[in-house]
Structure 1
Amino acid sequence: MMNDREFFNQVAFKWDDMCHHDKNKINYIIDISEVKKDSKILDVGTGTGVLIKYLMDTKPKEIHGVDLSENMIQVAKSKYKDDRVKFYAEDIVEFNEEKDFDYVFIYSAYPHFKDKKKLFSHLRKLMKENGKIIICHSQSKEDINRVHASKEAVKEHILPKAEITCEIMKDYFKINKCIDNDEMYYISAVK
């Protein structure tokens, strides 16, 4: 059985052709997240850096993209030649290079984290007081779970109902917004 790193390394170079991301929905996600100018942003599970293009429109101070897959990071690095964008190929729960993030985004990656409590506990330590964490998908949880069910390596990576995620997050953050419908999955919370 292939582990997550192997799976994502294997699909990295064809990822952008495999996955469709609705740019209108991503722009909506950025809008409702109310990202302020000159922010320090962490993009968890950045993959090929899909979200970074949209985050750049908010005129950030810096963006740090972290992903388990070295090949995903290689693809992301090839897309962005901006000094404000830095990439790290490592497990987010071992990432400690930077702290004091204003925003933490987990876009299209949340189901891939097995230990959600460990994830939130660690991310909390990387955030500024009153920093905001956003978990989002530009598709419904049903769509995400259907795609994952069809791939052996990620068939157990289920996106839970937003209320279940909020229940786990409540121990670490104050829930701000929660959307779980046939268009998207979105949760924002504040430290």
Structure 2
Amino acid sequence: MNDREFFNSLASKWDEICNHDEIKIRKIIELSKVEKGCKVLDVGTGTGVLVKYLLELLPETIKAVDLSENMIEIAKGKYNDERVEFVAGDIMEFHEGNFDYIFLYSVYPHFTDKEKLFSHLYKLLNENGKIIIAHSESKEKINNIHKKSDSVKDHLLPEGKITANIMSRYFQIDKIIDDEEMYFVSGILVTETDKG
């Protein structure tokens, strides 16, 4: 079973089996310092868990992408807001750029080639835009859950500093949190002229 089939099979019960702590999600959003009127890309949106919180910040647009058509259908049923567009598809084949923020909430372990992922997302982000990798659980808890399923047993969350090291080839690392409460790594797209 590939990733698409796996997540399609779980979509109808996803919101029941996944715990997304509202307090921690709000902390993730707060740490991200999302500005009003921005353009957001929500990678691996699933059933649109993050969309609710992002809408509260009054973005101009949110593009929410997921590999699973079934997840996207559930997400569409939750929101009726012209600022949000849901797209079923592989983010690696998505080429519409100019985002101010790119969120990967509860999806990062499912990308096997992380270097390729960041190289691709770099092209979709505006100058001084921010990329955020986040989980509302600890890396240990996420990895223990994944190890119990044959389909995702190899989809493990690396240490925050390892993620930051890969990201730093494309982004200036802004913040790393990797503790028993949550996982959060953010980076900013800074051009060579900005660095000067």
What range is the shorter-chain TM-score in? over 0.9
The alpha carbon displacement at 1:92 in A equals 0.4
Tell me the equivalent position of 1:137. 135
Tell me, in whole angstroms, the C-alpha distance in 2 between the residues paired with 1:38 and 1:58.
8
1:82 pairs with 2:81: yes
Tell me the equivalent position of 2:91. 92
- Aligned partner of 2:159 among 161, 169, 186: 161
Tell me, in whole angstroms, the C-alpha distance in 2 between the residues paired with 1:132 and 1:104.
6
Tell me, in whole angstroms, the C-alpha distance in 1 between the residues paired with 2:167 and 2:181.
22
Tell me the equivalent position of 1:68. 67
Tell me the equivalent position of 1:27. 26
Letter in 2 for 1:15: W
CA RMSD after TM alignment: 0.5
Q: Which runs of 5+ in 2 are unaligned?
A: 190-196
Tell me, in whole angstroms, the C-alpha distance in 2 between the residues paired with 1:67 and 1:121.
19
The alpha carbon displacement at 1:152 in A equals 1.1
In the superposition, the TM-score normalised over structure 2's length comes to 0.95
Tell me the equivalent position of 1:187. 185
The alpha carbon displacement at 1:5 in A equals 0.3
SS in 2 for 1:154: coil
Tell me the equivalent position of 1:171. 169
Tell me, in whole angstroms, the C-alpha distance in 1 between the residues paired with 2:75 and 2:112.
24
1:127 pairs with 2:125: yes
Tell me, in whole angstroms, the C-alpha distance in 1 between the residues paired with 2:154 and 2:36.
38
The alpha carbon displacement at 1:30 in A equals 0.4
The alpha carbon displacement at 1:99 in A equals 1.3
Q: Which runs of 5+ in 1 are unaligned?
A: none
**Between Structure 1 and Structure 2, how many residues are aligned?**
189
SS in 2 for 1:122: helix
Tell me, in whole angstroms, the C-alpha distance in 1 between the residues paired with 2:19 and 2:148.
16
Letter in 1 for 2:150: E
Tell me the equivalent position of 1:10. 9
SS in 2 for 1:153: coil
SS in 2 for 1:114: coil
Tell me, in whole angstroms, the C-alpha distance in 2 between the residues paired with 1:131 and 1:26.
20
Percent of aligned positions that are identical: 60
In the superposition, the TM-score normalised over structure 1's length comes to 0.98
SS in 1 for 2:58: coil
- Aligned partner of 1:108 among 106, 109, 121: 106
